[in-house]
Amino acid sequence: MIALATPQELAEYRKKNRFEVVCSSGLKVLIRKIPIDPMFRVIEKLQMDVPVGTSLEEAERIATEKLKSKEIQEHLPELIRIVVPAVTVNPRIIENPSGDKELAYDDVDFLDLIDIFFAAMEQTGLSKESAEARASFRKKYARQASSGNVTSTPPTP
């Protein structure tokens, strides 16, 4: 007979796969790892060519190069729109909130969205590269914001 997971075991599993992010504004958000479908959408958007049978080390090298590339900055608004709603647990950050534990995507500061996105990417095992990319993009965004050349939220893909 196969033993099924108990509700307590499932709760423990979920808990170990949850991470708190403290955003630039002070907003605290509980996130989970990026689910498989949004991750494939990110990979597709960045056109990461990782052939079947590629070693883990080589796949990480390819992903690291993409994270350092200018392409991620060009696609960041779209990537954030894919990842943030998929990873936020509490509060959920979604397009059309309907409850107390949800925030409208457009009500969240763009720098906070960047923090959440890169924190989620760090959970994929690319923490150093994600941290470097986040710092780089935050500097670029701050310069654009100070010159008035940026909107408060990314466009809808």
Among 114, 33, 130, 128, which Cα is nearest to 79's? 114
Which of 120, 128, 130, 131 is closest to 17 using CA atoms? Answer: 120
pTM for this entry: 0.68
Q: Measured between alpha carbons, how far is 73 from 79 in angstroms, rounded to an integer? A: 9
pLDDT of 56: 60
Token pair 């409208």 is found at: 104
Query: Residue 93: what are its φ and ψ, rounded to 5°?
Result: -115, 110
CA distances from 138 to 4, 23, 76, 115 (A): 45, 12, 12, 9
- Could you read off the pLDDT of 15-30 as tens digits, one per residue? 888 999 999 999 999 9
Length of the chain: 157
Copy the structure tokens of residue 57: 């080390």
Q: Which residue has the higher pLDDT, 23 or 73?
A: 23
Q: How confident is the model at residue 35 (pLDDT cuts 50, 70, 90)?
A: confident
Cα dihedral value 147, 140, 30, 109, nearest 10: 10
